[in-house]
Amino acid sequence: MTIFYEFGGKLYANITNKCPCACVFCIRKNGDSIGGNDSLWLSHEPDIEEIISAYEAFDKTGLSDLVFCGYGEPMTRADIRIEFAKYVKEHTDMTIRVNTNGLVPLIDPDFDTEKMRGVIDSVSISLNAPDKESYLEVTKPKFGIDSFDVMLQFAKKMKDVVGDVAFTVVDVISEEQISACQELSDDLGIPLRVRHNVTNNESYT
């Protein structure tokens, strides 16, 4: 099964298929893989030993950036992800980014985000929409209408804990909504990246 894959000159970690959302743009609806890699559907959720073993076996020549992304929300396995990120930091000088929906306070209320300090270099958070109602329509989180505010609080916390934080939206929303997302991002001092809704790329978390 594919725990690691290369895409766009970066190493991606696919450690879970679990996700509490059903985003309208999720690439998982369009296929089994990305960029010609093998299927990203896991036969089981790998434990830390399997993750490290797969990492060591992967040819990382020329790769200096590790991204936690995959066919699922990586923060559904937050503690294992941090444990593995520490391993990578101890053995390499790779930079580590997490692409997340920002809902870990709802996914795992016991997870201490302080564990990310000094281990994770950057966090990309799916803003997806400018307000809680449209967020619900685009992201469809199982936690309901409070999810948007929790995600924003997480983003503010990440500015302190990690420092390098960015928002993303996918252009499935209107231009007016994208402009409103830009205003919200500016107010929070977090850069916004607008992604195109295309298949077979990294348009997921």
Question: Any contact of residue 181 with ligand SF4 (CB under 6 A)?
Answer: no
Q: Which stretch binds ligand SF4 (CB under 6 A): 3-11, 22-30, 81-89, 109-117?
A: 22-30
28 or 132: CB nearest ligand SF4 = 28
Q: Which of 2, 14, 16, 101 binds ligand SF4 (CB under 6 A)?
A: 101
- Per the document, the length of the chain is 205
Helices (H), the chain: 48-57, 78-91, 104-107, 132-139, 147-161, 175-188
Shorter beta-carbon distance to ligand SF4: residue 33 or 92: 33
Judged by beta carbon, residue 52 or residue 192, the one nearer ligand SF4 is 192
Q: By CB under 6 A, tell whether 202 contacts ligand SF4.
A: no
Assess 24 for contact with ligand SF4 (CB under 6 A).
Answer: no
Per CB under 6 A, 72 contacts ligand SF4: yes
Q: Cα dist. 111→115, 146, 175 in Å?
A: 8, 19, 36
Q: Pick the closer one to ligand SF4 by CB: 27 or 51.
A: 27
22 binds ligand SF4 (CB under 6 A): yes
Q: Which amino acid is at 43?
A: S
119 sits near ligand SF4 (criterion: CB under 6 A): no
Question: Looking at the DSSP assignment, which residues form a beta bridge with residue 4?
Answer: 13
**205 makes contact with ligand SF4 (CB under 6 A):** yes
Closer to ligand SF4 by Cβ: residue 29 or 91? 29
CA 1 to CA 106: how far, in whole Å?
29
Give the span between the Cα atoms of 147 and 179, in whole angstroms. 21
Residue 23 touches ligand SF4, criterion: CB under 6 A = yes
Going by C-beta distance under 8 Å and a sequence separation of 6 or more, which residues neighbour residue 104? 75, 78, 111, 113, 154
CA-to-CA dists, residue 147 to 45, 99, 126, 166, angstroms:
25, 17, 12, 18
Q: Which residues bind ligand SF4 (CB under 6 A)?
A: 19, 21-23, 26, 28, 72-73, 101, 204-205
